Structures are given as structure tokens and as C-alpha cells.
Amino acid sequence: MKLKLAVLPGDGIGPEIMEQGLAVAKTVCEKYGHELSYEYAICGADAIDKVGDPFPEETFKLCMESDAVLFASVGDPKFDNNPNAKVRPEQGLLAMRKKLGLYANVRPVTTFDCLIHKSPLKDEIVRGADFICIRELTGGMYFGEKYQDDDKAYDTNYYTRPEVERILKVGFEYAMKRNKHLTVVDKANVLASSRLWRKVAQEMAPQYPEVTTDYMFVDNAAMRMILDPKFFDVMVTENTFGDILTDEGSCITGSMGLLPSASTGEHTPVFEPIHGSWPQAKGLNIANPLAQILSVAMLFEYFDLKEEGAVIREAVNASLDQNVRTPEIQVEGGKKYGTKEVGAWIVDYIKKA
């Protein structure tokens, strides 16, 4: 097929991991006869520095004209410690999600057998954990009415029924494709918005009689993820809860550098690692490119290109098995591989596969 990508490397380690993700995309397209074209665009702190806007109109236009967006990461410490900054790199990411209507963020939490020892949790608790968190991405407190002055501030956790219905539908459908177990995570004992979520979910559940639907308060879900992550199959939740729970989920795996994500909705889908821009590691060739590379696998799978996705996953697993790993997950005494070397090894593996 013809595939046109918008490539948004962003800030920090973004450009380095993107280079590897893109190399993998090119290799797979060559191997399977797909016609790949791509164009770079700026976003985040990089775009603020260059044009004063973290998601410029031109970047948006390119995203809209592309089949998919490959996104790396945004963020820069010079903004984090300045509460008075008028524009922030993260606003670029939020604008992209909103303008592209990307209401469904799919974040798989999977473990790799050879990395179980890297998890802070006990082997028997994490081994085999495999669930998907579906995070609502364009509503809730992130986008509700906000106010701030020197004495008071608020963010509104606003949700409408259609917003809740469409994301729950994604949750039920994923559950149908997997082990038919959906956990709706909310805080319905306290929050009105959560009560709407629960009401809508209870109304929809009879349409999916094969799915076991359960409801869990977010505090309990946070605990359950650590005590018994294998309990979960598909979890669906609102924007803020999903943000927090997926960082927690990434720890189960042993490294944040391993988790990809897909954001889909009304317009062009975006594929991005769930980790941030890790500015301290910028240019050091130590960042793990696997989350970016696995995001490329999700991209192919989105277009139903299963073999293409599978070959990437196979290559990633092989690299881990053969200890071709970046420093944060390398075994003691293991050879040193950087971002580039891991990427190159994976590209080479795919070519020969």
C-alpha cells in the first residue's frame, strides 16, 4: 500500500528514537513492497523556539494530509520550572490530540519474559501480565474549563454522554477481541463525571453479553495493578486516571522505554511511545528506541498489516533475548549498545527475517 507519514520528532530524546523508528518503518516497507513517503514537522519546545507555537498550523496541516503520524516526545525542563510560562511544549501534544479528534488512546501493558527481573514487582506477580489500558484522550480535566489566579484555581472534569459512549465502545470492542473482560475504572463514589461514566457503561454492557464487565474505583485499580496485574484484560478510563495508571503500568514492565501507544479517533491516527522526552539523556545515545519501534508495529497493525507488525515484534524480542539492549535494561557485564546500535540491529534482523 501507499503510506504517507507525518514525522514529529519533538524534543529531548525524541529525534534520536525517531531516527530508529523511521529506519524500521522504511525497512519494513521495502521488504513488503509498500510505498512509503514521509515529511518532518516541528512540535513541542522545538516549535516554540522556532515559531512560538508548540503545534503550528503547518504541522497540523501535514498531519491532516497524512495517513498516520509518527510522534516521539515533547517537553523541556526550561518550561517545567516556570509556572508563568505562557506557552508550554505539552500544549502542542494536547492541541494535536484535540485537533485530530484522537479520543481513544490505546496503551498495551505487556511483559517480556527476559526482563521480568527488571520489574520492581515479584516474578510470580508480573510474569504473564498482559492488558490494555484504553484512556480517553480529548476530554476531562485536561480540556474542561480552567481558571487560575493567585488565590484559587480549578480544572473542570467535564464529560458528555457521546464522549463517554464512544470511548466505552472502544473498550467493549477491544474486550471482544481479547479475553472478554472489561474493567471500567472510575471514582463514582465521589465524582459526578464518574457516575455518568458508570451509568453509561451499565446501559451499554447488555449489548456485549459475552463481555464480563466490572467496575473499579481508581484508587483500588491502582492497588490492584500492583498486587495482581494479571487480573486485567482491558481497562477503560477517563483522561487523567488513564494518564496516571499507564505510568504505573509501565513500571510493571521494568522500563518505561518499552511501551508504545496508538491514539485514534476522528482524523489521522498518531503512534507514539508513552514515555516522555527525557531531556537529561538527549544526545547521549542511551535512550531505549523500543517503545518508538513498537509504536511503528502498532502503526502497521492499525492498517491491518499483520505480518509487518509481527516481524517488528519478533525483531524486538530477538534483540532482548540476545542482550542487544540499551543500558537501563542491559544484563550485568553485557555489551554496551546505544540507541543507534539497538536500532541498527533490529533493522538488520528485519532485513534478514
Beta carbons within 10 angstroms of residue 220's beta carbon: 11
Site for Mn ion in 180-209 (CB under 5 A): none
| Catalytic, out of 53, 243, 337, 349 | 243
The question of whether 142 is a catalytic residue gets the answer yes
Site string for Mn ion, 132-171 (x = CB under 5 A): ----------------------------------------
46 near ligand IPM, judged by CB under 6 A: no
Q: Which of 54, 127, 40, 148 is nearest to 95 (CA)?
A: 54
Residues 267-286 that bind ligand IPM (CB under 6 A): 274, 276
Q: How far is the CB of 234 from ligand IPM (least distance, A)?
A: 18
Shortest reach from residue 89's CB to ligand IPM, in Å: 8
Burial class, 181, CB count within 10 angstroms (exposed 0-12 / middle 13-18 / buried 19+): middle
Contact 338, 285 (CB under 8 A): yes
The verdict on 96 binding ligand IPM (CB under 6 A) reads no
| 90 belongs to the binding site for ligand IPM (CB under 6 A) | yes
Nearest distance, CB of residue 252 and Mn ion, angstroms? 15
Kindly identify the residues of this chain, within the stretch 232-261, that bind Mn ion according to CB under 5 A: 243
Q: How far is the CB of 93 from ligand IPM (least distance, A)?
A: 5
Q: How far is residue 252's CA from residue 247's CA, in Å, rounded to a whole number?
A: 9
In this chain, which of 11, 136, 243, 341 binds ligand IPM, going by CB under 6 A?
Answer: 243
115: nearest Cα among 126, 106, 100, 105? 126
Distances, alpha carbon 123 to alpha carbons 118, 126, 194, 310, 330, in Å: 9, 5, 34, 26, 18
Backbone angles phi, psi at 214, to 5 degrees: -125, 165
Minimal distance, residue 352 CB to ligand IPM, in Å: 34
Site string for ligand IPM, 65-84 (x = CB under 6 A): ----------x---------
Among 7, 23, 47, 93, contact with ligand IPM (rule: CB under 6 A): 93
Decide whether 102 or 205 has the Cβ nearer to ligand IPM.
102
Which of 109, 105, 123, 125 lies closest to 233, judged by CA?
Answer: 109
Q: What are phi and psi of 258, to 5 degrees?
A: -115, -10
- For this structure, is 243 an active site residue? yes
247 carries an active-site annotation = yes
Tell me the residue nearest to ligand IPM as measured from the CB: 90
| Residues assigned a catalytic role | 142, 187, 219, 243, 247
Question: Which residues of this protein are in contact with Mn ion, per CB under 5 A?
Answer: 243
